[in-house]
Amino acid sequence: MNNTIICGVFALTYVLIASRRLSVIPIGRPAGALLGAVLMVAVGALTPEESYRAVDGNTILLLFGMMILTAYLERADFFRWVTGKILRMARTPWRLLWSFSLLAGVLSAFLVNDTVCLFLTPVVVAVCTRANLPMGPYLIGLATCANIGSAATLVGNPQNMIIGSLSGYPFVDFIRAAGPAACAGLAVNILLLRLYYGRRLPAVFTLREAETLSVSLTPGLGFLLAVVGLVVAGFFSGLHLGFTTLAGALVLIVADRREPRDIFARVDWALLVFFCCLFIVVEGLAGTGLVEKLWSDALPFLSLSRPGGLALFTGLMSLGSNLVSNVPMVLLIGPHLGELGPEKAGWVLLAFTTTVAGNLTLIGSVANIIVAEGAKSHYELGFFEYLRFGFVSTLLVLAVGVTVIRLQV
């Protein structure tokens, strides 16, 4: 099969998923990836059977299970409950900003950054609206900290899930290696929020209708949190990530004693289709051998044991993640990491750089887009408004986080 045609299919798919909508083919990301997957089979890059095998079932299962758990948390008003706790503790707008940002980072480490942003954005909008606070800093803090916090674990975001499946990296070992870098990154990001927005925030705030955001810890919510805690304990115990998550979801379904139609309706099926198709498209490109050739040409300059090679690797992963998105970048580079030096360090660096790179621009990650879209009826988060913070944050967090990882792994 002509490699030019296959590369053309990949390029078309990339254009469809890199842009929100094309005027020529305005079908969006999931349908764009689906078109690319079908075309890869149609042009003979993969057989139907090979396309089935290209899909990483572990990643899809884990993502599906996490979506169900998060849907139950949202239905039980967990996010409103934890927001009520924050409002009672945060007495100033600045404390509220760093509290929301830290909450987003911590939750994203275990509940997937995209879903955390999906459910926290309406809460942040409601609080800012009722307290008459400038919404931009809170939305930027939510998005950037959610991305950074998700880098800490193998269940924090889709690209880390893929890395966990490809590498077989134990959950505990990964969080030991990536957790300190993520924590350092969150600290840098929150300090930067202070520097950028601390003086622009009012001294105090008064939240009207605070009782509407207050939710009690009911027995049902307590049971749900206990189940989620057991799922996380299973991660630390070395159990299979996907089936552990699914087991927790099934406990909630059975305990609920209702048909889970509304829960399944909250699952982002389009995102699952998007990732399934992306596996197929990237596998089709990998079959051409072009990725291996480009990698072999760059290999002499990318040694992770040298500062120059480490800096170049960080820059290329960050640039690539913003050009072709972080998930395709992980799928393309992952199989070749062993050639760079210590493989464990390579997996952690790949996860951290491709995740943090999403903070560079407003369209750099799905989480950023979710926050912007979720707030647009109340506040238009501008591209350059975000870029002024995101560009500096990404550079600083990458510099600090990569240094921390390299010193300890």
DSSP assignment letter at 20: S
| Main-chain phi, psi angles of 59, to 5 degrees | -65, -45
Rounded CA-CA distance 402/409 in Å is 10
Residue partners of 195: CB distance under 8 A and separation at least 6: none
Mean pLDDT over all residues of the chain? Answer: 86
User: Residue 146 corresponds to which tokens in the numbers above?
Assistant: 């959610």
Task: Tell me the C-alpha distance between 205 and 130, whole Å.
Answer: 10
pLDDT of 215 reads 59
Distance CA 315, CA 313 (A): 5
One-letter amino acid of 95: R
Chain-centre distance of CA 131, in angstroms?
29
Per residue in 255-275, is it b (16+ CB within 10 Å) or e — as a string?
A: eeeeebeebeebbbeebbbbb
pLDDT for the residue numbered 247? 96
Q: Residue 42 pLDDT > 70, yes or no?
A: yes
Mean pLDDT of 317-323: 81
The predicted model gives 303-315 an average pLDDT of 80
pLDDT in tens, 190-211: 999 999 998 888 888 776 544 4
CA 298/CA 393 separation, integer angstroms: 27
How far, in Å, CA of 308 to CA of 264, rounded?
48
pLDDT band at 402 (very low <50, low <70, confident <90, very high): very high
Q: Which residue has the tokens 């369209």?
A: 363
Element (H, E) at 320: helix 307-324
Residues of the chain with pLDDT > 70, as a percent, come to 93
Six-digit token string for 263: 């829960």
Task: Give which of 257, 225, 268, 258 is closest to 64, Cα–Cα.
Answer: 268
pLDDT of residue 210: 46
39 pLDDT higher than 70: yes
Tokens for 189?
Answer: 């990001």
Q: What number of other Cβ atoms are within 10 A of residue 314's Cβ?
A: 21
pLDDT tens digits, one per residue of 144-186: 999 999 999 999 998 999 999 888 899 999 999 999 999 999 9
Residue type, 333: I
21 has a pLDDT exceeding 80: no
> Which tops the pLDDT comparison, 104 or 344?
104
The structural domains of the chain, with segments of one domain joined by +, span 56-269+290-408
* pLDDT tens-digit readout, 211-253: 445 556 677 888 999 999 999 999 999 899 999 999 999 999 9
Residue 272 has pLDDT above 80, yes or no: yes
Indicate whether 319 pLDDT > 70. Answer: yes
The residue among 389 and 168 whose pLDDT is bigger is 389
Whether 135 has a pLDDT exceeding 90, the answer reads: yes
What is the tens place of the pLDDT at every residue in 45-69?
899 999 999 898 888 898 899 889 9
Calculate the alpha carbon distances from 351 to 83, 158, 310 in Å: 29, 10, 14
pLDDT tens string 59-95: 889 889 988 998 998 888 888 888 888 888 887 899 9
Greater model confidence, 72 or 333: 72
Under the banding of pLDDT at 50, 70 and 90, the label for residue 18 is low
What pLDDT score does 101 carry?
95
